[in-house]
Structure 1
Amino acid sequence: MNWLRFFGLVLPLTLTRQWLYFTTTLSTSIFILLPLSIITYTQYYKTLIPLNSSPIQNLNFTKTGNPSISKFYHYSNSIFANYSNFDYDSELKYITNLNLRIICPQAPTTKKVSYTFQSNFSIVSQGSFILDCDSHLIYSHNNWIIPHNLKFWVPPILTTLSNSQKFNIEICEFKGSDLKGSNQEFSLILNDHGYLIDDSGYLIDDNFSNLRFDVKWTGFRYYLVKYYYTCFAFGTLVFFLISGAISILTSYAILFINYNKNKRAQSTKIKIKKEKGV
């Protein structure tokens, strides 16, 4: 503490030792135990949750139909279930996850969009979703921090003024045994129940529309995947507390052993001195 003496400050020896113990414990916890806890949880997660998603397949839609009856469809490109760098687990179930980004027209509109997922021209699954192109609703979906009325009072970099909506749809489920080694060719068809999809209608952004097959996790592993960041923070904290408790117990055990050794050595010395005195 020579630098303290330079300023004319003198600290008691007890306070200096306490400060040294505190800084040593804090630095050890941050730079050793915390990284070890993060690594331990990461390995724990990888053990329970191996590679659980197939590679992403980008979707490209083509609009076709008959203008005379005001009926148009959006056909996707071919979707293949077989991958060279991914192997399905025959014992697990897989969810077909569809991600769509749809750009709404300038005029507010509400549409019911139906989809048909088919394999080799046979229908696998059908469903629908609502496309609500209300500007306030779109803004609230894309910006959940900055309120709509304050969007012009903050820098543009903090808000997203895009007129697009994201949709994540679980189309259907497959057994891993049905997908493994399969040569099935899937396709997706979108339509909006006979409403005219013209130049003023919605557009599908192919750059952000894709499909993949995800493992359907159940039980404890479902929450590990669904709430990844929450479980990551909580799991890291648990492993940190466990490692900290083990470190403290080990330290006290070593101190206790050394204390007993010193005590026995001291008692031996006293005994020897007494014998010599006799």
Structure 2
Amino acid sequence: MKNEKDFSPISGYVMLVIIFLTFCFSLFGLIAMRHPIFVFPLVFALILIPGFFFINPNSSVVLVLFGDYKGTAKSNGFFWVNPFFAKKAISLRARNFDSEKIKVNDKVGNPIQIGVILVWQVKDTFKAAFEVDNYENFVRIQSDSAVRTLAGEFAYDNFDSEEELTLRSGHTEVNHALEENLRKRLEIAGIHVIEARIGYLAYAPEIAGAMLRRQQATAVVAARHKIVEGAVSMVHMALEQLSKHNIVDLDEERKAAMVSNLMVVLCADKDVSPVVNTGTLHN
């Protein structure tokens, strides 16, 4: 396997002067001396003209002569090379690729929609030009394949365990796994992965409603758990304070009634209506 090698082309301005002088010499000979031999310098000058080309900043030109790779010119400016060289321009700029949302199944089989944002650039022009047929299309296809592989390794979400890494919760770890996967896939094409991350993530439309209700139910259960935990702590504190300061002496039956009332007040999802007892504690 070959690797990229630098090629230093001739300054285009120098060759432009030489071709111009050759062209003038040929015309002068044809007009002044009227000899057909001066046609050859004119034809030679015309043959040399296709050798001119420009290289813009952060760009490169891959040069090939009759199937033989000669090198890659990366210097900016106006240059000239053998007019029989085939020239292929390859940009070295960083590029963004925002993939389309694709429908795949996650680790547990739930259909989800996922898209990736990839920042990449060409590092090895030889590999980009000759190791793959079309390096831009190669990036698109491999990104799609990497996303499908990633979705199969993680669940979208896990309602039973908060410790398990999922697509929704493990942003850093999941994006790192995506970057490593893409880096290995695109290395063959001389592509350097600058950044890769999930740009879109959602349940597929056919289960989105059911999963939303499940998320809501899970949130309600978690909230109720916290409410009950806090209510038990407050009831325990109330009983301790009443007993500590000898405010009222409650038997076990009255304690149970008080606990029941306090739990209803503290755990209810609506405001309670107070009832004023004007009798004794037992009536």
TM-score bucket of the superposed structures, by smaller chain: under 0.3
When you count strand as a share of all residues, which structure comes out higher?
A: 1
Structure with greater contact order relative to length (CA < 8 Å, sep ≥ 6): 1
Task: Identify the structure with the greater helix proportion.
Answer: 2
Q: TM-score, normalised by structure 1?
A: 0.26
When normalised by structure 2's length, the TM-score is 0.26
